Structure 1
Amino acid sequence: MLHIHITSWVLAIILFFATYFNFSAREGATPFFKIAHILLRIFMVLVLISGFWSLIQEMTANDGGGHLLLTIKMLCGIVVIALMEVTIAKRKKGEASHGLLWWTIIMIIITMILGVILPWGPISSLFGIH
């Protein structure tokens, strides 16, 4: 399930930027905008489902550990998804969305850092912390 989660959020980030930059304030949406936005929402749902499932697996594991960081990462992930949707909605309405874009990027980076240092992340695996 972790591979599905990682693949989903990577594709969601790519689709977020594709969707965001395929809407112009002067010209409106490109033909690709609607398709990208629908695909983005599908991958957002996949990210939520696979992330929640990974959280349940870790919480029920015998060794446990890292529950606070997992919960914080889950909350950051939900904030990222909400920011993505609000940023695109503001862009679509013609309102200022550059500030939200930067906050979305910052939250994506924070969430990725938390994912890297968590028990199933690459740093933990490198040092054998499971």
Structure 2
Amino acid sequence: MLHIHITSWVLAIIFFFATYFNFSAREGATPFYKIAHILLRISMVLVLVSGIWSFIQEMSAHHGGGHLLLTCKMVCGLIVIALMEVTIAKRKKGEPSHAQLWWTIIMIIITMVLGVILPWGPISSLFGIH
């Protein structure tokens, strides 16, 4: 399930930028905007489902450790999804959305760093910390 989660959030990030940059304040939406937005929302659903499933698996495991960090990552992930939707909505309404875009990018980076240092992450696996 972890591979589905990673693949879906990578796709969500790609579709977020595709959706954001396929809507111009002057010219409106390009023909690819609606498709990119639909694919973004589908990948967000996959991120949520796979993330919640991974969270439940980790919480039900009998080995301790990483629960607080996992909860922080989950909250950051929910914030990223909310920021993506709000940023796209602001862009579509013609409101200034550049600051929102930067906050979304910052939260994506924070969430990715938290994911990397989790017990299932590559850094922990590299050093044998589980």
TM-score (norm 1): 0.99
Instruction: Note the C-alpha offset of 1:63.
Output: 1.1
Q: Which structure 1 residue ranges, 4+ long, deviate > 4 Å from structure 2?
A: none
In 1, distance between residues paired with 2:99 and 2:64?
38
Q: Which moved more, 1:69-78 or 1:59-68?
A: 59-68
Indicate yes or no: 2:8 matched with 1:8: yes
Q: List gaps (5 residues or longer) in structure 1.
A: none
Match of 2:125 in 1: 125
- C-alpha root-mean-square deviation of aligned residues, in Å? 0.5
Equivalent AA in structure 2 for residue 104 of structure 1: T
**Alignment partners' CA distance in 1, 2:88 and 2:40:** 11
* Matched positions, count: 130
TM-score (norm 2): 0.99
Identity of aligned residues (%): 87
Match of 1:68 in 2: 68
What residue in structure 1 maps to residue 115 of structure 2?
Answer: 115
Q: In structure 2, give the amino acid aligned to 1:31.
A: P
Determine helix, strand or coil for the equivalent of 2:26: coil
Determine the structure 2 residue equivalent to 1:25: 25
Q: Which moved more, 1:58-67 or 1:27-36?
A: 58-67
What residue number does 2:58 align with?
A: 58
Q: Tell me, yes or no, if structure 1 residue 80 matches structure 2 residue 84.
A: no
What's the offset of the Cα at 1:64?
A: 2.6
- 1:65-100 per-position Cα deviation (integer Å, ceiling 9, x unaligned): 110000000000000000000000000000000000
Structure 2: gaps of 5 or more residues: none
